[in-house]
Amino acid sequence: MSKNVPGIMRQKPITPWLYLIPALIVMFTFIVYPGVNTFYLSLRNADNTAWASTACKSGESCWGIFENYHYAITSAIMQTAFLNNIKWILIMVTGTVGLGLLIAVLADRVRYESIAKSIIFLPMAISFVGAGVIWKFMYNYESGSNQIGLLNAIITAFGGQPVSWLTEPQINTIALIVVGVWMWTGFCMTILAAGLRGVPEEILEAARVDGANEWMVFWKIMIPQVLPTITVVITTMVINVLKIFDIVYVMTGGNYGTEVIANRLYTEMYKSYQPGRASAIAVVLILVIIPAMIMNIRRFNEQEATR
Partner 1 sequence: MNPFTRFWNWIKSLPVHIILIGLCIIWLVPSLGLLVTSFRPVQDINETGWWTVFAKPKGFEEFKTYCASCHGEDGTSIATADLTDPDLVQNYRRSFNLLSSLERDIDGQPHMGDIPVPDEQTAATIAAYMRRISGIEARPKFTLSNYIDAFVGYRGNKSYQQDCVDGTQAVDLYCDVRDLTNPRGMGRAFLNSLFVSIPSTILPILFAAFAAYAFSWMDFKGRQWMFALLVGLQVVPLQMTLIPISRLYAQVGLNGTFLGIWLFHTGFGLPYAIYLMRNFMGSLPREIFESAYLDGASHWTAFYRLAIPLSVPAIASLAIFQFLWIWNDLLVALVFLGGQHPVLTYQIGNMVTSLGSGWHLLTAAAFISMALPMLVFLFLQRYFVRGLLAGSVKG
Report the nearest approach of partner 1 to the CB of residue 152 (Å).
9
Of 35 and 59, nearer to partner 1 (C-beta) is: 35
Q: Which is nearer to partner 1, 2 or 161 (CB)?
A: 2
Is the sign of the CA dihedral 90, 91, 96, 99 positive or negative? positive
The answer to whether residues 68 and 56 touch, using CB atoms and an 8 Å cutoff, is no
CB of 200 to partner 1, least distance (A): 17
Nearer to partner 1, 8 or 60 (CB): 8
| Minimum CB–partner distance for residue 281 and partner 1 (Å) | 8
Judged by beta carbon, residue 52 or residue 103, the one nearer partner 1 is 103
Question: Which residues on neighbouring strands pair with residue 44, listed in sequence order?
Answer: 51
Nearest to 99 by CA among 119, 83, 115: 119
Least CB distance from residue 31 to partner 1, whole Å? Answer: 6
CB 154, min distance to partner 1, A? 10
Q: Which CB sits closer to partner 1, 80 or 243?
A: 243
